[in-house]
Amino acid sequence: MLSYRHIYHAGNHADILKHIVVSEICHHLTQKDSPFFYLDTHAGIGQYALDSEQAQKNKEFHSGISQLLELPNPPTAIVRLLDIVKTMNDSLDNKNNVQWYPGSPKVVDAYLRNKDKMYLCELHPNDYPILADLFHRDRQVTVEKRNGFQAVKALLPPPQKRGLILMDPPYEVKQDYDTVVQTLVEGHRRFAQGIYAIWFPILSRQQADNLANSVQQTRICNVLLLELSIRDDDAQGGMNGSGMIVVNPPWTLKQNAEEFLPVLTAHLADKNSNEAHFQIRWITPE
Ligand SMILES: C[S@@+](CC[C@H](N)C(=O)[O-])C[C@H]1O[C@@H](n2cnc3c(N)ncnc32)[C@H](O)[C@@H]1O
C-alpha cells in the first residue's frame, strides 16, 4: 500500500521536530574531518513546494515552519534549520512566505561535504522519479527505488564507519511499528556505532509508549526519546504529536533538545488546546 504522499504534510510540526533532530545530528557529524554515510530509508521527494495544490490543501505548514520564522531569538538548533530553509528560498517576502521546504534529503544535503555519501530510498512510483531528478547531478548521492528497510540490511556497515540512518516510514500499515524495530536490531547488529533516528507519530499515549517499550526490549543501549505533542496525546482525530527515537545520539542532542523543545511546544501548540507538552528521556542509558 503506497497511498501516503508527504507533500500534504510538508513543513508541519512533525517535520519540524524530525528535521531539527536530523540537522543537529548532521551538524555533529561534520565536526569531525572523517567522512560520514547517510541512509534515508523513506526519503520522499526531497523538497516540497508549499504553494502546490497538495500542500495548500490543509496548509499544515501554517502551524509548523511559518510559526518559526516569526521567532525573535530562537535557540541555535532552530536557527540551523531556518538557515537551510532560507537558503532554499532566495528571498522571503515581508510576510515570510516560504515557497520551498526541505525534506530530510535536502536537510542532510546542506551539511554534505564532497567526501560524504548519501543513499536515498523511495518506493512510490510517482515520488521516486522526482527525488532521482533532484539529485541526478550529485555524484555523492545515490537514489534507489527500493524498500528502505531492506536497504538497511544490504548497506550496513558502510565503509565510512560513521553515519546516520533515518527511518521515517508512513506507518500506513501497522506492521511498520514492528518492522522499524526489527530493522533497527538488524542494522545495529551490523553497525553498532551508527546513529539511528526513528520518527513516529503520536496517535495515543499507549501507541507511542508501545513503540518505546519495544525498543527498550531490544536491549540496545544509549537510546534517547524526544517527543513534541501539540495537544493531549489521547485527543481524538489525528496526529497529536510526534517523536524521535535516537540510538547513539550526539552528546549535545539532549542538552540542545532541552532548549528547542520548550520553544517548539510554546509556538507550535494547537491553538485550541492548552495541553501541548514535550518529553525528553532515555529509553535505555549508555
Ligand atoms: C514520511 S514520508 C518521508 C518524508 C521524508 N523522510 C522527509 O522527512 O522529508 C515516507 C515516504 O516513504 C515512502 N515509502 C513507503 N514505504 C516505503 C518503503 N518500504 N521503502 C521506501 N520508501 C517507502 C512513501 O512513498 C513516502 O514518500
CATH no. for residue 175? 3.40.50.150
pLDDT in tens, 161-215: 999 999 999 999 999 999 999 999 999 999 999 999 999 999 999 999 999 999 9
CB 141 within 8 A of CB 135: yes
Determine the residue of 122, 128, 175 to mutate for testing ligand 1's pocket, defined as the one with the most ligand atoms within 8 A of the Cβ atom: 122
Q: How many domains does the chain have?
A: 1
Task: Give the pLDDT band (50/70/90) at residue 90.
Answer: confident
Q: Is the CB of 107 under 6 A from ligand 1?
A: no
Q: Is residue 236 part of a domain?
A: yes
Q: Is residue 168 part of a domain?
A: yes
Q: Is residue 187 part of a domain?
A: yes
Q: Is residue 1 part of a domain?
A: no
Q: Is the CB of 179 under 6 A from ligand 1?
A: no
Inform me whether the pLDDT recorded for 121 exceeds 70: yes
Give catalytic status of residue 168 as yes or no: yes
CA 143 to CA 132: how far, in whole Å?
Answer: 6
CA 175 to ligand 1 centroid distance, Å: 15
The pTM for the full model equals 0.97
Q: Where are the beta strands (DSSP E) in 93-194?
A: 100-102, 117-121, 141-144, 163-167
Range of the domain at 181: 6-284
Contacts of 105 (CB under 8 A, 6+ apart): 40, 43, 44, 46, 47, 118, 120, 131, 134, 135, 141
Model pLDDT, residue 5: 92
Catalytic residue among 168, 209, 232, 234: 168
CA 202 to CA 186: how far, in whole Å?
Answer: 25
Which atom of ligand 1 has the smallest separation from the CA of 15? 8
Task: Calculate ∠ Cα 79-101-240, nearest 5°.
Answer: 85
Q: What percent of the chain has pLDDT above 90? A: 94
Helix (H, G, I), strand (E, B), or coil: what is residue 168? coil
Q: List the one residue out of 37, 45, 161 whose CA is nearest residue 102.
A: 45
Q: Is residue 108 part of a domain?
A: yes
